[in-house]
Homo-oligomer: A and B are copies of this chain.
Amino acid sequence: MTREKLYLFDTTLRDGAQTSGIDFSIAEKIAIAELLERLGVDYIEGGYPGANPTDTEFFSEKRTKTARFTAFGMTKRAGRSASNDPGLQLLLEAKADANCFVAKSWDYHVEVALGCTNEENLESIRDTVQAAVAAGREAMIDCEHFFDGYKANPDYALACARTAYEAGARWVVLCDTNGGTLPGEVKDIIARVSQVVPGSHLGIHAHNDTGQAVANSLAAVEAGVRQIQGTLNGIGERCGNANLISLIPTLMLKAPYKDTVELSVRPERLKDITAISHAFDEMLNRAPDRHAPYVGESAFATKAGIHASALLKDPKTYEHVEPESVGNKRKVLVSDQAGKSNLLGELSRLGIDVDKADPKLDALLTEVKEREAKGYAYEAADASFELLARRILGKVPRFFEVKSFRVMVERRFNAVGEQVTMSEAVVKVDIDGETRMSVCEGNGPVNALDGALRKDLGKYQSAIEGLELVDYKVRILDGGTGAITRVLIESHDKTTHQRWFTIGVSSNIVDASFQALTDSITYALLKSAG
């Protein structure tokens, strides 16, 4: 059977950015685009150039290597030509491969929100698509409120879709903007749309307002649609967008999809999907959903009880897919062997050679398990993991030893009656038997500690000159200010342009930060020592 190509369109950076509480910086957008390319989606919608400074800057260069870099925007305004619409011209100047234009397809909204005639709206769709195609862009139209629009006025909704297609749009995307359409309706309406636009040019954009964004997307695929829009972990406005992390494994592993459609995601990349999903949550500084389909920590966990022995005999009859196929793990069978092979894979990825039979490997595995139980998350902190592994397996020089530190934060009124807060840190470090004490002020306790620690490392000072801290994340693992704190620090070396992540865990946030800071400096020294 030949499988038809099904395209994945990610809108994490555009529609996902509408999620309450989410606000991506340029650096975060770049990192997320890298994650998406690692996964292997076909399109990355990066944002809306012209709508805000971040998105405009993000589109000042092309940010993808393999995925088509897509700029979102609106169709041209009624009453002016495409070449005379500055918003549209800005979109066509953005460094993008493709443009996705949102257009009204519900006549009610044409009147109320745009205040133009139905015919003027069709003209906007037509002219905008043609202008984009003329500018050498792949053009697509997001038909906003398509399903509700179809229910209110089927002819007009169809006219919008047909106009976009006939003008040369590669994709006509049917958007369930309010998120309330049900799978049966999706299927029935798309059957009708296919009579005017072929399924190979149709896309689906579903929202989760009835908990069925995934089901609606799959219903659309069954109706012949060949592009799915969604986001990482289903983030998005209100109840979220269709979750690509749930959809991709279903499409690749399960009948009928695995036999009928083909994705750009390679099977070996599918094994990364659990790690990618978790890495994205790390960027959002939130705990991954333990119960997420396929990738959740509990997705293949069983409070076995009565099932235990049968499950041990043949796990496949208790699991709808193999956890390994999505890079997840079965939780009932604690297999040291599986743990060990994971570990060996990790070490080889970091370039650390070790013999399979080396007993130190068991010691490392035990240590990693114990630390992860305490809250360390080495998945997100490669540099700290490498230091731990090298310490246990081989040798990491003791570059310096911190004998003690003290940090103070004080808020008071100063001599002229202004409220001021000051932070001061003192660090006592031993290098080759010589004690050095440094003191530093900072605009916070961690900044002061960082300054004091890096102020005088003697003969190592030159090796950390290019070091800077670029991100600092804190997560409370059990809730409340008295719980375990996990700190992740991202460091950057201005000289070598390398980046690395370190971690610290403690009930004390300053202590956890200090662990991550010293790991970061030690890692820099290790790398500079070659």
Contact = CB atoms under 8 A, between A and B. Distances in A.
Given A445-B510, A479-B470, A212 B210 contact: no
B314 A210 contact: no
A307 B333 CA distance: 47
Contacts of A300: 238
A511 interface: yes
A291 B406 contact: no
Contacts of A403: 412-413
A105 to B, nearest CB: 13
Given A208-B293, A406-B410, A446-B509, A182 B20 contact: no
A399 interface: no
B292 A239 contact: yes
Interface string A463-497: 00000111111111111111101000110000000
Interface in A374-426: 377, 379-380, 402-413, 421, 423
A514 interface: yes
Q: Which among A209, A299, A475, A489 has the highest number of chain B CB atoms within 10 Å? A: A209
A506 B421 contact: yes
A80 interface: no
A239 B293 contact: yes
A44 to B, nearest CB: 21
B481 A472 contact: yes
Nearest to A487: B474
A511 B421 contact: yes
A443 B293 contact: no
A473 B475 contact: yes
A154 interface: no
Contact of A404 (B214, B411, B470): B411
Contact of A510 (B310, B379, B409): B409
A258 to B, nearest CB: 11
A209 B293 contact: yes
A291 B178 contact: no
A320 B185 CA distance: 14
A313 interface: yes
Contacts of A112: 310, 313-314, 317
A529 to B, nearest CB: 25
Contacts of A480: 468-472
Interface in A16-36: 18-21, 23, 25, 27
Given A409-B508, A507-B444, A318 B215 contact: no
B23 A377 contact: yes
Contacts of A317: 106, 108-109, 112, 145, 148, 178
Contact of A20 (B145, B379, B407, B489): B379
Nearest to A442: B482
B222 A184 contact: yes
A243 B319 CA distance: 21
Given A444-B482, A471-B479, A472-B479, 5 more contacts: A208-B293, A240-B291, A403-B413, A405-B410, A406-B410
Interface of A: 18-21, 23, 25, 27, 106, 108-109, 112-113, 145, 148, 177-184, 208-212, 214-215, 218-219, 222, 237-240, 243, 246, 249-250, 254, 256, 285, 290-294, 296, 298-304, 307, 309-310, 313-314, 317-321, 333, 377, 379-380, 402-413, 421, 423, 442-447, 450, 468-483, 485, 489-490, 506-511, 513-514
